[in-house]
Each structure stands twice: as structure tokens, then as C-alpha cells.
Structure 1
Amino acid sequence: MSAQQGPEQAVTMRDVAERLGVSTMTVSRALRGRPGIGEETRQRVLAEVAALGYRPNKQARSLRSGGPSELVGLVVTNLANPFYARLAIGLEEVCLRQGARVVLGSTGGDQAVEREVVADLLERGVDGLVVVPSGHDHSHLGGEQLRDTPVVLAAGPPMGIEADCVLVDDFGGTRAACRQLIARGHRRIGFLGLPPSLWTGSERFRGYAVALEEAGIALDERYVSRHRGDSALAEETARAMLVLPDPPTALLTANNRNTVGALRAVRAGGYPVALAGFDDIELADMLDVPLTVVSYDPAEVGRAAAALLYERREAAAAAQPRRVIVATTLVDHPRPRQVRDDSSF
């Protein structure tokens, strides 16, 4: 420990990186003997570590002993949404092959919490971050704020910073689903959306609105709801739409939580309504209500994010940010065939 550091102020990997003007990832790789940095840089790091008296975090080191030697942080907004579980599986699949372990943090959609989670992960010396952003201010995810730790955004594009990102075709998928409902004769289509402040919310609403406009159908605000995905609220909203004097003949939902709410409303009221929704849902093929879903593999979002993260680590710092779009497809889940009861024979 240097003379400047008291016992209550242990030297961190960030301190070493700041003194040398390098990233925490570079310090981490030098200490672990990992490839990807020059020998001169490695020696500079080791010399500075010795001068400052840096000691690796014992807790993090014990977690890694006998297993993966690097950490990748994943920051998501809502652990209750199955999308994030699948995303994490895809991310971990690639990271484990690279000798890294994934550490998960959840923000509840609160940007202040997101800043705290990101800062905590950086302090723990993560070698990269994949973040599902909570809001529009991404300044805390910029290169200077992260001390050059590589970051990839998932499910939302960077705003105010330059960063790699992986997006789902939110606009195209919703537009295709709405077009299919229109092609099947529906003119009054209710939309259970997401807040316009969310990228997914604005893009999926745009897909719905464009499909209506292309078909010459005026957008009726009575048939539109844009709230954070919550099945109970979606059920309540769907019920309100379906008791209008001229109710929608079809409902289009912006995510799987809203689809669940719409299904409950339709089933409880026995309404003859067509349903289509973004995100596939488990057991959709077993429902007694026909359902069309905008399908894609959330694990592919995680795999693509991991690929970008590792490519960024090897790329020059000035390399242009990249954007990957995960494609969607429409899948029809028809009503299951009725099984005849032969018990009376």
C-alpha cells in the first residue's frame, strides 16, 4: 500500500488503471496473464501494481478460483420477464466458452439504480458489460465513465454515447403482425403497448401505426394503451376496450406480459376476439384461444451481445460502433384439437 493510501482506502483496480491511463480490463488481463495486451503494457501494469500495493479483491478471486477467470456484467430491467432469462442464457453460453462468468444485476427500470449497479460491477473489476438501458440518459455508459471497459447495449440503442448494440426488429415484427390481422379482415384493432419512453414501446407502436396507415385505417385512441408491461393492468385495459359500444375485433399486444393479460380478459368474458402479440409465450400451443406471436430467440440477443463484446475487446478503440438486428417471424398457434371423451362407451 502506498503512502497515499490509508488502511481505510484500499487500492482498487480502477486506481491502477487511472494512474496508467488504461482500462480496468487491461489491468485485469495483465494480472491474470491473459493474451490481448503487449508485453510492454503488461510490465507497466505490474510495476504500478507493485508501487501502489494493489491486492486483488479476495471475494472476486475466490469466486473465480478453479473456474472462469473473467467476469462479464449483465444489467437488466425486470427479472420477472422471461425475455431476460433467455438473454442471460445466450450471453453465458458464449462467455463460458471464452473463460468468463456472467454476473447479473437488476434495476427495476430505475435509471438511478442502474447507475449504482453499473458502478458496483465496475468496482468488482468486470471485464465487460451488457446493459439493457432503463432510460434515455446513457452518459454513465460512455467510454470515459466506464474507464474504457467495453459495453454493449441490448434491446435499446445508445443515446448520447457511441456503443455497440443488439436490437430486435421491434418495428418490423409489430408491423407484420398488424398487417396479418388486417389481411384477415380486422379494421378495429386494439393495441396494448408499452411506454413511449422505452425504445421497444415507441418502435412497436410505430409498427402498429404504420400498418394501420398503410391500410387506410384511422388510428382510434380508444383502442390504444401504452403502459409498462404488467399482466394485471393489461387485463384491465383489455376488458375496458372490449366493452366499448364498438369494441375491437382483434387485440395486438406489445410484449408477453401484456399478452397474458389480454388472454385472461378474452377468456373471462368469452369475447370473440383475435389475438396477436410480440414475444412467444410458453404453452401458447395449448391455449384454447388462437394466438399469433411475433417470435424470435431472446438467447440470440445474448449471443450476439457477447460476440460484439469480445470483438470490441480486440478492436481498436476508434472502431465505429456496430448495430445487430435480430430478425422476427410470425408464428400461428391455432386452437388445439378437441379430444373426444369416450369414457361413456
Structure 2
Amino acid sequence: MRSSGRPTMVDVAAAAGVSLKTVSRVINDHPNVDRAMTDRVNDAVARLGYHRNAVAASLRSGSRDTIGFVSADLANTVYMQIAAAMSSVAVGRGHQVVIASSEEDPAAERRLALDFCQRRVGGLVLVPTSSDHSYLAPEVAHGTPVVFLDRPGHGIPADSVLIDNRGGARAAVGELLGEGHRRIAMLLDSADIFTMAERRDGALEAFALAGRRPDPDLAVMGLHTPTAAREAMDRLLDSSDPPTAVFCGNNRATIGALQAILPRDAEVAVTGFDDFEMSELLPRRVRIVAYDVTELGALAATILLDRIAEGAPADGGTRYVPTRLVDRGGRA
């Protein structure tokens, strides 16, 4: 007798007095099953409230109605919002989304992507961590479409959906320069990450367009966590000539910068890339380079599902989701 938990096929087999194989054959509508056996299994299913796990079954047997999403870091809420948008589009078109995270590890990305392909998913949406995706070439050649999201991939024909990182950063830093700021700090993650390199280059373009050169002592790279950004901002504020403004390369850097600035009530204008939860409740005005995260995920899912439905090869095109500067926080 089951003591607790969701009923399983083993429980159904025990309740019906049949083998596990018989339960599997009945649940999967296998032909040539004895009618009496079928009735016993169906009766046990009804009594126990058993529900077949369709997603798990499709992953075991392979299904083009399932698409895989390999994220780079599910600790980042942006990727969870993207996954939700993808799922909404996919479910509306009769598909399921299965999610995994590479944790910014190229080896893990390769392993997860190939595992999805081995399970015969209909297609992949991939946030690239690796610099070479030719390992997916045999899968693409056999008809598995791939869409690169947030960062471009390399080595295979695939569609890409990106943010206008360069344009957003250029507009943000250009606005700070236009407001008269001359000492603008930049807090960025590793330039090995495509999005961060693009945002850095966009910021440098803004300086060049204004006929200015940034102070290299005010640019700090490799800040992966809010704590690292806070410590970097603290050092800059303690310097003999602190910045009057800061451009943060992502939401984690913005949070860290604010952790250093707010307790001191320092007069530093803050502009950051990526919105974040409850930013509107901040006690002071912060400018955010925002974009429609839902559009990003929905566009990637739509392109992939169209490729699956049409059986058409990728055109290798890149679609950009635009950015805009918005205000967050500030006392009324």
C-alpha cells in the first residue's frame, strides 16, 4: 500500500494485480492488450488518481513537440523571465519547454545540448557559453534547428535573437556626458562575455562621440557578483577624486554599486543595464537601460517553432530587441 506521494506506475501495477509492463502498454495505448487487463489497469488508474508524466515520456521516447532551452545562469532572474515567455509561446502551439543551465561552463553547455539532441527534441534555444558550436553541426544537418539567444553562436547555421547592447550602453553613457559628468565610472563583468564586451564598446563609443576619453582608473572589469561591484564602488568612492556618475554593465553591478552609494548618501548618478525586481522602490532616481524580456523569449521561441513546423533551414539572420532608458526609484 502506498503511504504518501504522487501515485506511480508501480502503484498502479500493484493495485491492478498486473505487471509493470502491462501498465505501460495500457497507458501508452499499445495494441493487442487483453480487454480484461485494460479494464483492470484503467480502474486502478482512476482509483489512485494516477497521471502520466507526458514531458518525461516524451524525453524518453523523443518528441518534436518538446524544445530544449539551455540557459547560461538560472540564478539570473532575466533568464527565468525569458524561460517563462518561451513556455507561454510554446504551450500555445502545443509544445513543451525543458530547461537546463550551463552555469557559464562551456563543457556543461555542450553536454546539455547534446543530451537534448540525443533525446530527439524538436529544436534548441541556446544561450552560448562556448566559442565554438560546430559540435552541433551533425544535429543541425539532421534537421534539429538551433536559435542562439542573448549572445551569438559560432560554427553552425542558426538564427540569433540579441539585445541592442551596444546602442543601449552608448545612449546611457552619452546621457551622463550630456548632463555634464566628467568622471564616469564603469563597473562591468568579464569582457569574455559577448554582452559585456558590447556594452563596454558602446560606452566607449559615447565618449568618442563626445570628444572625450574615459579615465582608465574608473573602469573596473570582471565583476560577476553584487559583492564584487560593491567593493569596487567603495574603493572608487574612497579615492582622492571619486566619480560623479557610474555606468553599471548589468543588474548585479547596479545592485552592488547602490549598496556602496546609498549608505553614504554619495552624490553619484547611477545608470545600469538590465532592470531588476523592485527597482521602482529605490529611494533615489536610477536610470535603467531596459528592454522587453518577454519579447526576447517569445521571439526566440517563435522563430524556433516556425523552423520546426516548416522544416526550413536557418537563414543565419539576427533579430535585435531594442533598448530604452527609463527611470526607476526616486522619492515623490
TM-score bin, normalised by smaller chain: 0.7 to 0.9
- Kept in 1: contact 2:124–2:147 (CA 8 A): yes
1:141-173 deviations in whole A, cap 9, x for unaligned? 335467331110000112232210100010011
Q: Trace 1:89-238 onto structure 2 (pairs within 5 A).
A: 89-142=84-137, 144=139, 147-238=142-233
5+ long unaligned stretches in structure 2: 1-52
- Kept in 1: contact 2:117–2:139 (CA 8 A): no
5+ long unaligned stretches in structure 1: 1-56, 338-345
Q: Trace 1:44-123 onto structure 2 (pairs within 5 A).
A: 60-61=56-57, 70-123=65-118
Structure 1 residues 147, 229: closer, same or farther in 2, change over 3 A? farther
Q: Which amino acid aligns with 1:227?
A: G
TM-score normalised by structure 2 residue count: 0.79
Asked if residue 259 in structure 1 is aligned to residue 285 in structure 2, the reply is no
Counterpart in 2 of 1:24?
Answer: none
- Kept in 1: contact 2:55–2:96 (CA 8 A): no
Q: Which amino acid aligns with 1:83?
A: V
Structure 1 residues 314, 247: closer, same or farther in 2, change over 3 A? same
- Kept in 2: contact 1:194–1:200 (CA 8 A): no
* Equivalent residue for 2:276, pick from 278, 281, 284: 281
Distance in 1 between residues matched to 2:242 and 2:288, nearest whole Å: 22
Alpha-carbon shift at residue 269 of structure 1 (Å): 2.7
1:220-265 deviations in whole A, cap 9, x for unaligned? 1111112153111111111112222111110111111111101101
- Kept in 1: contact 2:124–2:145 (CA 8 A): yes
Asked if residue 272 in structure 1 is aligned to residue 267 in structure 2, the reply is yes
- Paired residues in the alignment total 279
Q: Which amino acid aligns with 1:101?
A: Q
SS of residue in 2 equivalent to 1:294 = strand
Counterpart in 1 of 2:31?
Answer: none
- Kept in 1: contact 2:190–2:221 (CA 8 A): yes
Distance in 1 between residues matched to 2:124 and 2:330, nearest whole Å: 42
SS of residue in 2 equivalent to 1:311 = helix
Q: Which amino acid aligns with 2:84?
A: I
Q: Which amino acid aligns with 2:193?
A: L
Distance in 2 between residues matched to 1:220 and 1:139, nearest whole Å: 40
TM-score normalised by structure 1 residue count: 0.76
Counterpart in 2 of 1:239?
Answer: 234
Structure 1 residues 123, 261: closer, same or farther in 2, change over 3 A? same
* Identity over aligned pairs, percent: 38
Q: Which amino acid aligns with 1:333?
A: R
Alignment root-mean-square deviation, CA = 2.3
1:107-145 deviations in whole A, cap 9, x for unaligned? 110000111111211122211110000131222233546
Distance in 2 between residues matched to 1:166 and 1:153, nearest whole Å: 6
